[in-house]
Structure formats: C-alpha cells, structure tokens
Homo-oligomer: A and B are copies of this chain.
Amino acid sequence: MGWLRLRLGRLLDEERKADGLSSTGEAGGRMKARLLAAQIKRMKLSFSVALSFFSAVQFAPSVVGLPSANDHTWIAPGPDDQRSPCPGLNTLANHGYLPHNGQNFTIKDVMDAAQEAFNVHWDAILVAAKFGLLTRNDLGSEEYMSLGPLLIHALIEHDASISRQDVGDGTGDALHFNETLFSVLANSNPGVDYYNATSAGAVQYARLQDSKENNPYLLNTQREFVLRTRESGLYLSIFGDPLTGVAPKEFVNIFFREERLPIEEGWSKPTTLINSSTLMPIEKIIKRAANWSATSVCEPVVLTPGAVVNLGNATIPGIGVAADEA
C-alpha cells in the first residue's frame, strides 16, 4: 500500500514535470541530498577549525524554493528535492507546507508550517528551528535553511533515532527511513492499536541500547535525550490526542514510513494546540519509561559545517577529526 502510493506519487511527479508544472525544482544547478551529504563530508575534512569557526564558504545556490501545490496534497520528493533526517520536516515539504524542493526556508516558515499542518505552536520548536540555521554557512544562510544540510551530524541530527541509522563510523545512513530499525517502534505496545507515552519511552530505551552496544562513536548526552523526547512527544501529540499522548499506530506508522499525513485514513489536524505546556506531562512519562542514562556529561560542539570544537583527543568520524591546532 505504502509502496503503491510511493510509485503513484513518483509517476504523478514525473507527469507534472513533463507538463512543465514541476513542483520539485529544476534539475540544473541543484544538488541531490546525497551529493550534498558527500559535500558536507568533504568540507569537514578540508577546513581546519582555526579557519572556519566564524568563517563560511559557498555552500549551495541560494535559489528560493518553488511553491508546491496549494492544496497541500502529498507529492513524493523528486530526484532533485532535498529531504532531511527529520520525518516531520520532510512531511511538511511533501505536502507543500515547506518548499517541496526542501530548500531555502526561514525559521518563521517552519513555525508557520508546523502551526498550519500540525497545530504545533511555535514555542515547542523555536530553539530547534534556530539551530537549523547553523547547518548551512553560505551567503543566504543568515536567513534560509534547507533540508539536505540538516544531515550534518550532531548539530540537529542525533544518534539513537527511532527511524534512522546512526552515522557511526561515517558509513551509517542517518538520512533515510530504515524499516528494520523502525520495527522496534512498529512492534511496541503489543495487543492494542495505539502507541502511548510509556511505549514511546520504551522504544527510546531500546533504540539507545542498540546504539550503546553497536556504535562506538555514540553521542548521548542530556542534549540528545531532551531532543529525542521532544520528538516522541510530538509524534504522539500530532497523530494522537495531545492531552493524553495516545496515538493510533496506523497514523504514526504512515507518518514515519511515507512521510505523509494520513488524512484519507481518517486523521485530521488536532483541535488542541500542541505547545510546551501540553507536551510537558507527556514527556514526563516518556522520560520515566526511557530509563535514560548518559554516555557522557558533555560532548563536542558542531558550530556549522566544517567547524567542530571541543573534540579534545576524540575522533568521531561522523563529525570530523580533532583540529590539528588549538
């Protein structure tokens, strides 16, 4: 079913392109998310911290994203569209609440899109959106961010995701949905057709245990834990009841697997505004169930692509190597 939808979406997309009605951006001069990820890696190796802490380089063309269809129907990303490790932002782009090509949107655009599509108040996502602005360092990035660069490790993107691989030794795919890892969530809360805060916490625990056992480069401080918990709080609230955190499995699964709003399956935008006050009690339960412990108290700081400080003697392939000087 999901596969069929994906095929149909792609065909539709190709048809639009053939008609000159492309909503996914022109091919020329734009880069796939994959190429962009490779570019990020190259940049990491080619700039020393001394040069680039407050420095910047030309990164991606500053082309304003073409608007998507105005009716917010789901359109699969085309080959030139950027997508991120975040299923929420990807869904907003697939439905045209953010530019369908995934490029050049502002912090305000993210706030407006979250409000319009999810009924999520700006106060629940403001800080994360601001950090997003750090993931590019070209001229234009003082205002615009794009989905592809959000892949940069340990700035927004984090380990122990419930739907993506850890970047690990540098070969892990932190960008694309991974059904094998997602099965932990898909198989959680057995016997009933909903997820809740307790099951979401248990999933966070299981995914982190996997990373602790298999990723020698795991970054797991309070920072990641608070971020991961906010993510869980959001998927429960958006696709379930924001006041109880009880969410139908079908809606949540479609969201993660297809990055689509399950409207035809019966979901509609919550009538309760989702904000930090509604999230707090749900996140409290998630945190307790996650039985979390830190791998380290603090960690290196990724300031922007190519600029990592506070690595010390550590080598973390996903974010580069220690600066050779001070």
Q: Quick one: copies of this chain in the complex?
A: 2
User: A130 at the A/B interface (Cβ < 8 Å)?
Assistant: yes
Q: Are B142 and A108 in contact (CB under 8 A)?
A: yes
Q: What residues on B are CB-neighbors of A223 within 8 Å?
A: 301, 303, 309-310
How many chain A residues touch B (Cβ–Cβ < 8 Å)?
A: 62
Q: Which of A2-10, A25-33, A133-141, A236-244 forms contacts with chain B?
A: A133-141
B292 contacts A56, C-beta separation under 8 Å: no
Q: Give the residues in chain B near A272, CB-CB below 8 Å.
A: none
Counting CB contacts under 8 A, is A52 at the interface? yes
A-B contact pairs, 15 of them (CB 8 A): A50-B226, A53-B230, A54-B124, A55-B123, A56-B123, A56-B127, A127-B137, A130-B304, A131-B134, A221-B309, A223-B309, A287-B325, A287-B326, A297-B312, A301-B301
Contact residues in B for A134 (Cβ distance below 8 Å):
127, 130-131
Interface residue ranges, A against B (CB under 8 Å)? 49-57, 106-108, 111, 122-131, 133-134, 137, 139, 141-143, 221-223, 225-227, 229-230, 275-276, 280, 283-284, 287, 292, 294, 296-301, 303-304, 307, 309-312, 323, 325-326
Known: A223-B301, A226-B49. A137 touches B142 (CB 8 A): no
Give the distance to chain B from A307, nearest Cβ to Cβ, in Å.
7
Q: Pick the contact of A323 from B55, B129, B222 — CB < 8 Å?
A: B222
